[in-house]
Amino acid sequence: MAENPPVINHLQTRPQPVYRQDLCIACGACVGACRASARTLRPDFEKARVIWRFVPEACTGCGRCARYCSTGAITITPPGHLHEYFQIIRRYCPTGAITITPPADELTLSKAVKETSFPLQKCSCCGNHYASAFAIAHLATFLPDTFLSTCTACRRSKTAHSLTLQLLKIHPPNSPADVPVRDSGSLFESRVSYRTEGSKRGRAR
Amino acid sequence: MPRQFIIPDKAKCLGCCTCLAACMLTHREEGAVPCPRLFLTPTAQGSVPLQCRQCDQAPCAEVCPVHAIEVQGEVVVLNEKKCVGCGICVLACPIGCIEIQAARQTAATGITLTTSILLPLTRSEQDEKKMRKIAVKCNMCYFRPEGPACVKVCPTEALRLVDEEDIRFWNLQRRQAYASSIGFQGAAE
């Protein structure tokens, strides 16, 4: 009597990541952490969005994405066959301290988010798209908002420009005579040219 | 306690990129990602190399999801083995002196080879399979007993290692300048 061997769906025998889109900020930590390349994050500059993709078939269920997620948007559920054992463990706990999340079955996996997109943030100085807008909003909750709205290159040019202002006030202790004395006219020029440079780049894009 | 950091003198810098080359070579000998940790930034009055200021409460260390950036003594150090290249530290850096580099690990030598400078969001599908993204930031050459390499090699001594004494001196100068500006004559001398 030749019966077909039972088909084991590997999706049910491995832990599955459960993804909550409302918590995700598209920072890319899960993409960097995934060793199976199951997750990708790719920008679409024309639509000003960053596209997040997940391939459940490639996922090995290692749980690195859940461990490194900055906002707790990814959690790992136990696989189906382990869930039965977990239920027994839970039944014998005298105080009921153990709660177990239900396993990811085929129905919920088919509904799992495989592709979604997030808006990109525009640099307030040069006008380039430089990061996910949600990641910037997440950082703004605990970092000062003074520099977050500009891209990395604009932050550097602002820092370099501020060194000119410091040069006028600060003289190095060793050689105070070496520092050229600059009048306020040159300082004003540099400030004006910096601003027009930024606005020109913004218009060109 | 303020940490040591390197600050460039804009009047002395020629833009010759010797500091960038020295940084790359020093880190390649050490086995780290061989790419410069300084960023030559052009401005209207000439170029200037910028690098990490070793913030006291480093925002990059706060936001890192894998705790790859840690404060070791007086230096904020990035552990390249832990880094997953997510790029959230790049967004958190106030002066923009962390960049994501695409690196490739060679099994034979163990040296990470950087092939190109790629932003975290602009990479092709082929690169993604071959490459590993790593954040790079200045670590003040903490492994070198002689101190940072860029300060040593600068031909015009434009890069300056700032320590606590310098900061105290500059603060004194600022106070003296302010005191003389409000009319206290003895302060300027």
Q: Which amino acid is at A16?
A: Q
- Any A CB within 8 A of B176 CB: no
Q: Cβ of A28 and B120 within 8 Å?
A: yes
Helix (H, G, I), strand (E, B) or coil at B159: strand
Q: What is the ipTM of this complex?
A: 0.77
% of chain A beyond a pLDDT of 90: 2
Overall average pLDDT of the A61-88 stretch: 78
A12-52 pLDDT tens trace? 567 778 888 888 898 888 888 888 888 888 888 888 888 98
* Alpha carbon distances (Å) from A189 to A22, A124, A203: 47, 22, 21
pLDDT of residue A177: 42
- Closest Cα of chain A to B185: distance in Å? 18
Angle at B85 between CA B29 and CA B40, to 5 degrees: 60
CB pairs under 8 A between A and B: 131
> Any residues with CB less than 8 A from the CB of A192 and at least 6 apart, and which?
none
Confidence at B151, pLDDT banded by 50, 70, 90? very high
Position A179 scores a pLDDT of 42
Of B38, B48, B54, B41, whose CA–CA distance to B5 is shortest? B54
Q: What is the pLDDT of residues B70-126, one digit of tens each?
A: 998 888 999 888 888 888 899 999 999 998 887 765 544 444 555 444 444 444 555
> Does pLDDT of B69 surpass 90?
yes
Put simply, the answer to whether A37 touches B120 (Cβ < 8 Å) is no
Indicate whether A181 pLDDT > 50.
no
pLDDT at B56 over 90: no
> How far is the CA of B77 from the CAs of A67, B58, B98, in angstroms?
22, 11, 12
Please indicate if any CB of chain A lies within 8 Å of the CB of B129: yes
Q: Which of A44-53, A108-117, B56-65, B143-152 has the lowest mean pLDDT?
A: A108-117
Would the CB atoms of B88 and A154 count as touching at under 8 Å?
Answer: no
Residue range A94-104: mean pLDDT, rounded = 70
The answer to whether residue A194 scores a pLDDT higher than 50 is: no
Average pLDDT of chain B?
80
Please determine, for residue B66, whether its predicted confidence score (pLDDT) is greater than 60. Answer: yes
3-state class (DSSP) for residue A203? helix
Lowest mean pLDDT among A7-16, A183-192, B110-119, B129-138: A183-192
Query: Between residues A8 and A150, which one has the greater pLDDT?
Result: A150
**Residue of higher predicted confidence among A184 and A18:** A18
- Residues of chain A with Cβ-Cβ distance to B94 below 8 Å are 144, 146-147, 155
